[in-house]
Amino acid sequence: MRAKIIATGSYVPERVLTNFDLERMVDTSDEWIRERSGIRERRIANEKEAASDLAYEAAKSAFKKADFKTKDIDLIIVATVTGDMPFPATACHLQHKLGLKKAAAFDVNAACSGFLYGLSIADGFIRSGIYRRILLVGTEVLSRITDWEDRTTCVLFGDGAGAAIIEATSEDRGIISTHLRSDGSMWELLNMPGGGSRHPATKDSVKKKMHYVKMKGNETFKVAVRTLENLVVESLNANKLKASQLSLLIPHQANLRIIQATAERLEIPMEKIFVNIDKYGNTSAASIPIALDEAVRQGRIRDGDYVLLEAFGGGLTWASALIKW
């Protein structure tokens, strides 16, 4: 039994925040942001929208494309670092909104690699015969944990959600292999220190801005390029494939220069790499499923194509998934 993605969906909030808007908020420029990151604009959730609301819209758009009743979903996995609340899981809020009474629900926290960690879990449940139909959603409202006075981070992130419905199949296609990695010794490169049991919310934690993303961008950049190259090579070797046999590489959209550097090292032409960072910035766990949904809608993935998904993020974590579409 294999696991196959039978439908995708995505949702981004209406409000667009451009680089020019950011010029009026912090000491930055459209030119700097575009040259260093490839980002032109990003979406920002309205004050009533939480992670499960974005997830709900993305899931609905995926269900519209799947030809079975939503009640048949066995499991909901949500990947997020900006869930509605510390608990219960955002997946439970989503289950309630969708009215999927039969489904189990839980969240995965692997930061920007969260969707691929979730995909690997879904693949395992389906291959082992435990579940047949799984809804996987990556959703983030990063604007709520962004320090809008810190120009080194606030220009990079955005909000959005992407969903995939994964089903058991006996066909020779679907998820071929997933590869998960982590290195907790580098946790300080990318984190949000406040709000957990180490530094619970206090007046002092708020004053010290501990409830915002902290990132050592330059160091993170170097680790990302090195680890992603190795991971893509490992994923291809494990399946005796060459990079030239890939029809499309969908990388996590964190920085266009990371994407270009990885492509160059792997000798994969940019035409075979999906890029939409210019429109949305880094949406963490939502980035890959939004890109996957856009790639499907743009007709860039056909039946039988080999597609490789890869991500890198806080933890540090990194992950890939090879799919025969």
Q: Are strands 133-141 and 75-79 parallel, antiparallel or unpaired?
A: parallel
Using only the alpha carbons of the chain, give its radius of gyration: 19
Q: Name which of 308, 248, 299, 307 is nearest 272 in CA terms.
A: 248
Indicate whether 157 belongs to the interface with ligand COA (CB under 6 A): no
For ligand COA, give the closer residue by CB, 123 or 310.
310
94 versus 256: smaller Cβ distance to ligand COA: 256
Q: How many residues bind ligand COA (CB under 6 A)?
A: 21
> Is 218 a binder of ligand COA (CB under 6 A)?
yes
Determine the Cα–Cα distance for residues 288 and 295; give it in Å rounded to an integer.
10
The one-letter code for the residue type at 224 is A
Is there binding between residue 199 and ligand COA (CB under 6 A)?
Answer: no
The rounded Cα 25 to chain-centroid distance in angstroms is 27
| Catalytic (active site) residue 92 | no
How do beta strands 317-324 and 306-313 pair? Answer: antiparallel
Q: What mask of x and - would describe binding to ligand COA in positions 10 to 49, judged by CB under 6 A?
A: ------------------x---x---xx------------
- 8 A C-beta contact, residue 51 and residue 82: yes
Q: Does residue 152 bind ligand COA (CB under 6 A)? A: yes
Cβ proximity to ligand COA, 3 vs 111, nearer residue = 111
Cα distances (Å, whole numbers) of residue 189 to 25, 83, 183, 213: 25, 21, 11, 10
Q: Is 282 a catalytic residue?
A: yes
106 binds ligand COA (CB under 6 A): no
The secondary structure of 148-170 as a DSSP string is TT-HHHHTTB-EEEEEEEEEEE-
**Contact track, ligand COA, 273-312, x by CB under 6 A:** ---------x-----------------------------x
For residues 13 and 38, which CB has a smaller minimum distance to ligand COA in the complex? 38
Piece of 117-125, 206-214, 215-223, 296-304 that binds ligand COA (CB under 6 A): 215-223
Could you say whether residue 151 binds ligand COA (CB under 6 A)? yes
Distance CA 90, CA 161 (A): 13
Q: Closer to ligand COA at the Cβ: 63 or 157?
A: 157
Q: What is the rounded CA–CA span in Å between residue 97 and residue 204?
A: 36
Q: Which of 74, 182, 217, 243 binds ligand COA (CB under 6 A)?
A: 217
**Span of 47-55, 148-156, 160-168, 169-177 interacting with ligand COA by CB under 6 A:** 148-156
Q: Is the peptide bond before 142 cis (omega within 30 degrees of 0)?
A: no
- Selecting among 19, 93, 154, 252, the annotated active-site residue is 252
HSE, side-chain direction, 13 A CA sphere, residue 156 = 22
Shortest Å distance, C-beta 258 to ligand COA = 6
Shortest distance, position 312 Cβ to ligand COA, whole Å: 6
Q: Identify whether 112 is a catalytic site residue.
A: yes
Measured CA to CA, the distance from residue 5 to residue 125 in angstroms comes to 14
Min CB(143)–ligand COA separation in Å: 16
**Lookup: tokens for 305:** 């194509």
- For the chain, helix, strand, coil in percent to 5 are 40, 25, 35
Catalytic residue selected from 92, 112, 154, 255? 112
Q: Please state the separation of Cα 206 from the chain's center in Å.
A: 27
Binding site for ligand COA (CB under 6 A): 28, 32, 36-37, 112, 151-152, 155, 190, 215, 217-218, 220-221, 224, 254-255, 258, 282, 312-313
Catalytic site positions? 112, 252, 282
